[in-house]
Structure 1
Amino acid sequence: MNAFITLGVPIEFKGHDCVPILEIDGVVRVHDLEDDAEYDVPSEELLAHNDEAESAFERMNRVDPFAVSMTTRPWNLAAHLEEVLSGAPLEPGGERRPEYQPDVPMMQRQATKRRELELLGFPIKERTFQSDLYAYRDYGEAGLRNRVRLKDPLRNVSPILREAIESSRKLLANQSTHTFAVFRGTIRDELDRLGGEDEKLPSDPTLRNYLRLIGGPSDPFWTFKRRQSESNRPTRSNRARAVPDVPGSEVQIDTSRFDVEVLDGFSNRRTTAQLALMVDKSSHSIVGACVRLQSMKGIDIALMIVASCMPRRVLPLDKDLSARLASGAWRRIFGETLPEARLPFVRPHGITSDNGADFMSRNVAAAMKLCGINHTEARPRTPTDKPAIERAFLTVERDFAQYLPGYLAEDVTNRGEPTPGEELLTVFELAVFFEVWFAHVYQNTRHSSIRDPRRPSVSHSPNTMLAALRRFYPERPLSVPASYLPRVANVTHRVISRSGIQMNYRVYDSPELDAFRLKLSPITGTKSWPIYYHPTDIGQVWIIPPDAEPITAPLKDRDRFYRPFADEIDAEVRRVAAESRELSRAEQHELAHELGKAARLQVKARNRRDARDNAARKLDPTYAPPAVQADMTQISDSRMKGLPKTPGPIQPDLDDVEPELW
């Protein structure tokens, strides 16, 4: 920029009032205010005709140029802004213009100045002009340099809070990633330590802003990889982690969402299932699995743990599924008929889980005590404490779930088009397919994480690894008496009435309950007895009297579940109910009220008719009253239209029946 040319300052050139608006390589573009024309003039020629150029340069040299490339902003912007604020003239010693005096409204002064700058060839938006005006008012000419404000963003932070934030940042910088609530709690602890108990913590967004301002953009506190590497830095001598060689010495358990959309099997509602797995770390075998529609409860985990200790059942053959798989790779590998597969048996001796409510429930604690299992809790927010189970969930999603209809991937590019409802699996079908997959495919597939330490290039499958370990570490299933199973069940309280125990509109009864009907419970001191039940087994409940064996009370109407065509009848009932119109409680009361109203009108009509007939008989003893039918016209037609059409009894066609028979 030529140091002797002040852009935006009117000058006299060849007898005309001109404004220099642009200077490039010693050539100045000048706007002639009289002829409203623009032309280029060498800067030396312009300086020769302008005696005020030097003084203008000296005046504006006191302000740093804030944007060399921004030629659309006048160099004397500070003088224009000062005129708007205080009414001071642009030139020292000049006259004060009346349109910029303090008695003129500020908005009017701003509008006048913006029009003036536009005539000078420097149009400026209203919001930009106001931003520059406020910056100049608060910070002077320095507020216009590179649009930088000299405002300290931490000026309102108390010294003790700032010290607490800095110390908390140093404490958490070399730890694994935490939630922001942990950082906030650490600041609170540091404030208490520094004597700032009465100091009020700002909101989370404000704290995040303070943390970024204190640490800067390159603060490693906000870089996950750096924090992870710092947290994994050993504070002791490096040594390899102990790898369990005995099957069942460490079984990892966890739950996750099954990323497959299914039908619930009852109302055909689209939903997602939940999956719980138990994985043996020594062989990476899946020793337990549970699929549910709702989130896992403690009773589900407890039953899965008890079932893993019992003898494993043989996976039953599904003839229809075997026929569908009798082609392609399944026929080439397994033959024409799907073979029987015995689920892998690994009796858990130690279980590692997180601190979820389902794993810390009373049911799980009772199941582990019953089976003699040690429970190890993983560290909070540390999935690396359960690597085998986390890898198993990833394998299930990558090698099984993504091939099913209704797959819900995190990435929309892998999800595909939405699956119609009629093409989705039910939750029961999903459980069967998953059981077939992990028994025939997962257990017989080589895993990169199962390798021979002497020959790392050789990998094994869970079945081969488990079979090799069984030669040296044989295991027998646990024999759990049936009387012990109620102790891991859920408990509720009910009265043992004369008809039995009523739960969820079902009645359970047994002759062994005769001694306890309507009696006080020695456990609760009332007539409500502790009733033990399994949510997935509605066929029976138990009571456990003091110092006695559990008493089983079966479902009274359980034969209806085994009657012919029971499933078909239930499905037909649900279909008819879905197609029929059911009345609400309000509609029932409204219809009954109008029916009672019609009944009262009917009685009045009958009384009037009887009175009329009696009067007629007094006048004419031979009078015979006509036959009258019930008058139902008083019932509102709008209410009768809402009644569902129910078929009446079947009437025989009397025309087809011989006269002597009727």
Structure 2
Amino acid sequence: MSELRRPVQVAVGDRVRFDGQVRGVLAVSALAVTLSDDDSPYRAVPLLELFGADGFEVLTGPARMPLPPVSLLETLPPEVLAKALWWEGHILEVLHGLPFGAAPGTAPRPEYAPGQSLTARQRVKAAELTRAGHQVTASAVGHHRRRYQQDGVLGLVDYRPVRKKPEFGEVDERVVSAMRAAVKEGIDSSTKTGSYFLWRTGEILRASEEGRTVKLPSRATLYRLLAKLTEGTHTFSTATTRRSKAHGAKTPFGELPAFAPGQIMQIDSTPMDVMVLLDDGVPGRIELTGMIDVATRTLSAAVLRPTTKSVDASVLLARTVTPELMRPGWAEALRMSRSVLPHRRLLSLDERLEHAAARPVIVPEMIVCDNENVFISRNFKASCRFLEIDFQPAHKGSGFEKGHIEKMLASIATLFVQFLPGHLGRSTDHRGRHPERERLWSLIELQELLDEWIVAHWQNRPHDGLRDPAHPSRMFTPNEKYATLVEACGYVPVALSGDDYVELLPAEWRAVNDYGIKIKHRVYDSPELDPLRRRNSGIAAKRGLWEVHRDPYDVSRIWVRDHRSEQRPWVQATWKHLHRAPVPFGDLAWDHVSHQLPGATEAEIADAVAAFLTRAHAGPAGQPKAKQTGRDRRVAARTKAAGPATPLPSPAADSPAAEPNPQPPQTEDKLADVIPLGLFDPLEDPWRRR
């Protein structure tokens, strides 16, 4: 052995590797080293022989062996464990001279006295076990003793009854590979049954040269193999979940922590499982688009549309950064001034919060969305650039990257949608009979209900993801978490001004006539439009029309840009019949005068939520259940097409064209009865629903 590999020194207590065994150093002199030995109490080795031996080394690290995994003993059969414990008792007597459980002060038997070597003790134990009827040799006792010193009781276990079996039994590995390939092919295709994958496995084997000679096992064995290979892959479940799990991240999930409101926000849309009355009075389905703040789980905005478009995402962003004002009919407990939100501090920054509802105003710093055309459109990106917001699309097929908004949309279905008339269920298997015949809400009324539900229920509901790190059993509501983070990080929301909000709304080009502006059969007018009536805007590209911005979720007012004036860039015009038919604010029959209390209690909020769900489930007041048949739809279509008409005068008796007894024309269906209009009563309550 080279001089460089020799140890510097060997001290008592060291462990060295010599003569193929690990030995302890018992004594060191100028000429020799005394080492422990299995066959005798000790062994004296000259220094030159020790240092020159092949494989000699001084072992570093702790002298004690690591603890064996004792918990694995619980997985053993009772008879195997009993056999290992029986061996442990005898091995302990060989090592220490006393059996396990010996009373204190008990002297060892002479054959196990301290002066006896391990080899002698092993021979005595083997003879003792043989006389007791167990055919055991001294070498077998030594083998069990070394295994016990290395692995503890687990080293004495007979693994023959519990020998691990191959993962897929006796199935040929080529069959396993072929079935893996078949399952992988089905990730992006439609969901199929197990018989298809068995057939496809055989096809893949026949297409390969190595697989042609493989004999397929029985059909039952193939089904068991398929169950093992598809466990947790959703191969026979929904295609969307299967693709998401297959194309998701293969490495451990990372985490992007959010410590302040607006630091990370997520946006997404999904079909809503409920029927509503669309603008033409026909029942139909709608889509829900929402935005959630990761730090506080605040549902900052949610809008409903028959089909989500790019302008809807921009309007959603505008609603997120502006206060939610109280609506007629909302309970006083829903005011921001009576919530846990820091209303007084925020009121000094924005006076509009005086009449705001208890929903925080959050300005996003980063928005995470999927790759739908709605969110990667030019309009939405332009809105994000205008507000200096980082735009971060998620990877394709990686729904987990925006899991907060995905979970929120699913929660709305269980916490809100199922209470509504016209609920469809999550699939056709869960759908009731004729949901379109129930008392359906209109799209605008349902939007009003959703806004109220967000303020009343979602923002005051303890969230499992909002827990106190010091007290994990305590859950916060989104409003409580927002108030806490405002105190912790000093977050100050700078809400958009009214002009900024209007600027984000979608634009249309209309003429300003004598009667005002007409949009979708609704007329908007205002005295401030007088300088613009029947005038050219001066924009030749739009044929002199005026730029009109409107909120598609609020039909009560519009805003007209006055291109000729610098003092008043926006002119507001109101729907002419808003005071007669307050549809944009939903069913105002709920409107009531509530008591002024210093603060909203949990009981008041709970009562408001309970009353809200009862009202939402009942459907619009005064509206009968829609039991339309084909004949009813034809009558309604004819009546709508004909419109109001002046009755024709009766023909004169002496007219030559008049018949003595004119017969009414034969029609396929009987028209609806004519209901005369009532007289206008100026003292009548205009808010009462007829």
TM-score normalised according to structure 2 size: 0.45
Q: Which structure shows the higher helix fraction?
A: 1
Which has the bigger relative contact order, CA under 8 A and spacing at least 6? Answer: 2
Q: TM-score, normalised by structure 1?
A: 0.46
